[in-house]
Structure 1
């Protein structure tokens, strides 16, 4: 019976250690996310009437573009997305020029809305 109690105590200690580690990692992850999110919000934004982006001039980030193209591709338009990348002179998304992100997204939206 002593061996059984030792095993149970060891498993309890292991469970506590894993729980503590999980809580620490989760807490650090959330703190990192909040730090990044807060720093993006705190950045001063220069706004003048001249520099105010219109809907057509809004910049699209790589992450936003990748996310939307992935969604369109998952909805059955993989071939169209690949062809669209080729039209922009790229074999993969990372090869697309940053200046083309907005135009690429606009054309991808046409594909998504057509299907």
Structure 2
């Protein structure tokens, strides 16, 4: 496995761990705030986009004939390949890719 891929997986693991710790902290706060009998509605979190999810969308658009446009969008986000795109940019990338189908 390449060093960049290892680093990307480590970063993803750290983000998942941070989210889990945050969830536990919220639960503990709710349990010990004196209002444990009144369940609070927590906002529903959107699932994080994963590389595989984005890859599936890009592959579908590529099959529809948008390969050149996808390469240009990847370059816009500073990468030659999807694995080089910062996961923080996945949502914006997908929004740009959706625009290709309507162009």
The alpha-carbon distance between structure 1 residues 112 and 58, as it changes in their structure 2 partners (threshold 3 A), is farther
- Residue 87 of structure 2 corresponds to which residue in structure 1? 98
Spell out structure 1 runs of 4+ moving beyond 4 A: none
Matches within 5 A, 1:72-91: 72-91=61-80
TM-align CA RMSD: 2.0
Number of residue-to-residue matches in the alignment: 65
Q: Deviations over 1:29-53 (max 9, x none)?
A: xxxxxxxxxxxxxxxxx69524x23
1:62 aligned to which of 51, 55, 77: 51
Matches within 5 A, 1:17-28: none
Match of 1:49 in 2: 42
TM-score normalised to structure 2 length: 0.56
Gaps of 5+ in 2: 1-22, 28-40
